[in-house]
């Protein structure tokens, strides 16, 4: 199923992900991670995007982001990627694209926002880079678990969107991901389609005045020829 034109829902959580070009490493040391986050903090304020969750991995990034304007997401990642690519290429003495094409994004309902936040923050655990999600320095996990008091990106706004409280978060992300939910998150994000139930999706289509899912066509009704004789 093809990827559709980007759908943006104002004040709704979106899962966003992007890889390095040809899956190349885009972060090599702590200074690289810090530089990217500094650009993200500045540009998210400038373009009015709330970052609810994030995880920076060596060759890709994940976010849950809430745009305040239709153009917010496009502008945010355009300029973050541009500034970071300039920094990284200058450091390496290289030229060319650092990131692989345009970023992937999908609008989510509450159920999948919860599942996606856990999926994002458990990335380093699944990659066997750390034992616990909050041990990874370059994600929102420590802030959500209350370990890191400095919340530069204000990621604790996540708890305004989900029915899980801050004091419950550490226990929640200790649990394994729901494999069906993760499969849905991955599939729908790659297609740009909503990660949500049918009721949410129907309301979203009406709000955005566009089709976001493929409507299944039933078989043509058979004609009873005996009655037409």
Assign 3-class secondary structure to the chain: CCCCCCCCCCCCCEEEEEEEHHHCCCCCCHHHHHHHHHHHHHHHHHCCEEEEEEEEECCEEEEEEEECCCCHHHHHHHHHHHHHHHHHHHHHCCCCCCECCCCEEEEECHHHHHHHHHHHHCHHHHCCCCCCHHHCCCECHHHHCCCCCCCCCCHHHHHHCCCCCHHHHHHHHHCCCCHHHHHHHHHHHHHCCCECCHHHHHHHHHHHCCCCCCCCCCCCCCCCHHHHC
Cβ-proximal residues to 151 (8 Å cutoff; 6+ apart), any chain: 143
More confident: 229 or 41: 41
Q: What is the pLDDT of residue 213?
A: 79
Q: What is the pLDDT of residues 47-78, one digit of tens each?
A: 999 999 999 999 999 999 999 999 999 999 99
Predicted pLDDT at 23 = 84
Q: What are phi and psi of 61, to 5 degrees?
A: -130, 150
Cβ-based neighbour number of residue 127 at 10 Å: 11
Burial classification of residue 213, based on how many CB atoms lie within 10 Å of its CB (0-12 exposed, 13-18 middle, 19 or more buried): middle
Q: What is the pTM of this model?
A: 0.90
Domains along the sequence of the chain with CATH = 14-200 (3.30.70.1290)
Q: In which band, very low, low, confident or very high, does the pLDDT at 228 lie, cut at 50, 70 and 90?
A: very low
User: How large is the average pLDDT for residues 113-140?
Assistant: 98
Q: Which tokens go with 86?
A: 């300039």
Position with higher pLDDT, 214 vs 176? 176
CA separation for the pair 220, 227 (Å, rounded): 18
pLDDT of residue 227: 44
Percent of the chain at pLDDT exceeding 90: 85
Whole-number average pLDDT of the chain: 92
Burial of 228 (0-12, 13-18, 19+ CB in 10 A): exposed
């Amino acid at each position: 199923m093809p990827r559709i034109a980007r759908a943006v829902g104002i004040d709704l959580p979106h899962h966003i992900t992007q890889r390095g070009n040809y899956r190349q490493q885009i972060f090599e040391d702590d200074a690289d991670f810090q530089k990217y986050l500094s650009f993200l903090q500045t540009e998210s304020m400038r373009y009015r995007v709330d970052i609810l969750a994030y995880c920076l991995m060596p060759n890709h990034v994940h976010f849950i982001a809430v745009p305040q304007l239709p153009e917010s997401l496009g502008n945010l990642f355009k300029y973050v990627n541009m500034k970071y690519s300039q920094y990284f290429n200058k450091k390496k003495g290289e030229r060319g694209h650092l990131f692989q094409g345009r970023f992937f994004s999908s609008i989510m309902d509450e159920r999948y926002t919860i599942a996606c936040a856990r999926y994002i923050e458990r990335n380093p655990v699944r990659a066997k880079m750390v034992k616990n999600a909050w041990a990874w320095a370059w994600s929102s996990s420590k802030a959500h678990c209350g370990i890191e008091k400095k919340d530069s990106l204000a990621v604790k706004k996540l708890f305004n969107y989900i029915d899980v409280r801050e004091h419950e978060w550490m226990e929640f992300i200790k649990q394994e991901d729901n494999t069906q939910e993760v499969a849905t998150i991955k599939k729908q994000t790659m297609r740009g389609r909503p990660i949500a139930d049918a009721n949410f999706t129907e309301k979203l289509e009406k709000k955005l005045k566009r089709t976001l899912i493929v409507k299944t066509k039933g078989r043509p009704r058979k004609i009873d020829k005996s009655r037409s004789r």
